[in-house]
Amino acid sequence: MSTQAFTLTAPRSTVLFAGLMTDDTQSLADGLRRRDPDVLDRLIEQYQQRLYRYLLFLTGNTALAEDLFQETWIRVLERGHQYNAKSKFESWLFAIARNLVIDVSRRKKIASLEELGDSESNQPFELPDERSVSPLQLLVTRENEQVVQLSLLKIPAYYREVLLLRFQEELSLEEISTVLSTPLSTVKSRLYRGLTVLKSALPEGAA
Amino acid sequence: MTGNPHVRAQQLFAQSLVDGLASADQEWLAAHLRECDSCSRESASTRELLSALRAVPVAVPRDLAARTQMRVRLRAQQVAQASESNFLLWVVTGASWLLGVFSAPLVWRGFTWVGVQLNLPKPVLELGFVLWWAIPALIAVAVVIHQRTLNGIGARSSSSEARH
């Protein structure tokens, strides 16, 4: 086993958004300050997959995730002047989305985030068609993915969200700390504990 | 760090995923995983779990982005209109304040003339003077609040149409 296997690979997003951290970030902030609809259209296209996936895993409810997706972008429009271009746009975006999820949970007088999803009937989300793999491979892959989905929905939301932000959205620890408005040490401890909890939530013999 | 090499390996492996490892620790862990089947299996299963987590595809509803873009554009128009009318409101408020300041001595002279003609006590005149300025402002505030309430209802109904 190579030593390289243990180092964290550079997140996709680091490469994709390296350019955005300089002049593009500033022009993005200017566009948001002007409430430029073209800038927002582009951002909605660009982040639709990541934001929807984040909301879906956080809430476990497709209708609620859709509503919150739209509300997040409305809030980005209304509060665009607050984005200061010092942090990554995606951190700011996920923080807005997370605050909306918390607002919804408060409105519904739900004690915690995990009650948002229909825990009694937590079904895996609908997966898109995959035509490039054999039916058998597809079945096995889907089963694994569904097992992971279900296990993820079973664990407490405060572990789920750090796992999603770290391993799915590939944010750095500092960025996660910004999104959650939580100290770095708490983020780390939730990640360590979350990994253990997620593994224990998997059915016997899985992953 | 613990003296048990298997526990240490598990801790270092988790640390490598969360926080990264110093090169000496990386080397120690690599060497341990080469020798220990149990720890190697454990780390492989965690890596599989994380790659499954990254790979979980989520189908974004086909028209969600388009619906959101439409709703955002509608809201952007409403916000732009609201800031235009806010600007006008500030201009009118400023002009009326200036007019009020400069015309106050004349108005007070008019009030004292009426007071003398009707033989009214001074507190009544002062109250009348205050109301002369306050009532139009209170009516203007009531109109603005009423309009904003109507706009809010309109915005909510148009955004709920765009939502679906």
Contact B30 A168 (CB under 8 A): no
Q: Which domain holds residue B68?
A: 64-163
pTM of the predicted model over 0.80: no
In chain B, the number of structural domains is: 2
- Determine the pLDDT at residue A118: 44
Task: Look at the alpha carbons of A190, A191, A196, A197 in this order and tell me if their dihedral is positive or negative.
Answer: positive
Identify the closest residue of chain B to A33 by CA–CA distance: B76
Contact B29 A44 (CB under 8 A): no
CA distances from B131 to A11, A49, B88, B89 (A): 67, 59, 25, 21
pLDDT at A35 over 60: yes
Q: Are residues B82 and B132 in the same domain?
A: yes
Contact A78 B54 (CB under 8 A): no
Question: Which candidate from A2, A130, A173 shows the least CB-CB separation from B19?
Answer: A173
In A, which residues are within 8 Å of B45 by CB distance?
A: 199, 207
In A, which residues are within 8 Å of B27 by CB distance?
A: 3
- Determine the pLDDT at residue A3: 38
Does the interface ipTM go beyond 0.85?
no
In A, which residues are within 8 Å of B23 by CB distance?
A: 3
CA distances from B98 to A197, B104, B107, B126, B135 (A): 67, 10, 14, 20, 17
Q: What residues contact residue B162 under an 8 Å CB cut-off, 6+ apart?
A: B67, B70, B71, B74
A12-16, A90-94, A95-99, B21-25: the lowest-pLDDT one: A12-16
Alpha-carbon span A27 to A44, nearest angstrom: 16
Residue A207 lies in a domain: no
- 3-state SS, residue A96: helix
Q: What is the per-residue pLDDT across A100-134, written as a single tens digit (0 to 9) for each? A: 999 888 877 654 454 554 444 444 444 444 444 45
Residue A206 lies in a domain: no
Question: Which candidate from A70, A148, A196 shows the least CB-CB separation from B56?
Answer: A148
A65-79, A163-177, B51-65: the lowest-pLDDT one: B51-65
What average pLDDT is seen over chain A? 77
Q: Are residues B16 and B75 in the same domain?
A: no
- Determine the pLDDT at residue A28: 87
pLDDT at A19 over 60: no
Q: What is the per-residue pLDDT across B96-145, written as a single tens digit (0 to 9) for each? A: 888 888 888 888 888 888 888 888 888 888 888 888 888 888 888 888 78
- The alpha carbon of residue A52 is apart from the nearest alpha carbon of chain B, in Å, by 7
Contact A188 B27 (CB under 8 A): no
- Determine the pLDDT at residue B84: 73
Q: Are residues B131 and B152 in the same domain?
A: yes
CA A205 to the chain's CA centroid:
27
CA distances from A36 to A29, B83, B155, B163 (A): 10, 15, 19, 21
In chain A, the number of structural domains is: 1
Q: Are residues B141 and B81 in the same domain?
A: yes
**Contact pairs from chain A to chain B, CB under 8 Å:** 135
Residue A1 lies in a domain: no
Predicted confidence band of residue A204 (pLDDT cuts 50, 70, 90): low
- Determine the pLDDT at residue A67: 94
CA B7 to the chain's CA centroid:
46
Q: What length is written for chain B? A: 164
Structure-model confidence comparison of residues B15 and A142, the more confident one: B15
Identify the closest residue of chain B to A10 by CA–CA distance: B20
- Determine the pLDDT at residue B137: 82
Q: Is B101 on the interface with A (CB under 8 A)?
A: no
CA distances from A107 to A10, A13, A110, A116, A122 (A): 39, 33, 8, 11, 22
Contact A195 B18 (CB under 8 A): yes
Q: Which domain holds residue A186?
A: 11-201
Q: Are residues B128 and B106 in the same domain?
A: yes
pLDDT at B53 over 70: yes
**CATH code where residue A68 lies:** 1.10.1740.10
Contact A37 B27 (CB under 8 A): no
Q: Are residues B105 and B142 in the same domain?
A: yes
Q: Are residues B146 and B70 in the same domain?
A: yes
Contact A148 B49 (CB under 8 A): yes
Residue A130 lies in a domain: yes
Residue A5 lies in a domain: no
Q: What is the per-residue pLDDT across A130-187, written as a single tens digit (0 to 9) for each? A: 444 455 554 555 667 778 888 888 899 889 999 999 998 989 999 999 999 999 999 9
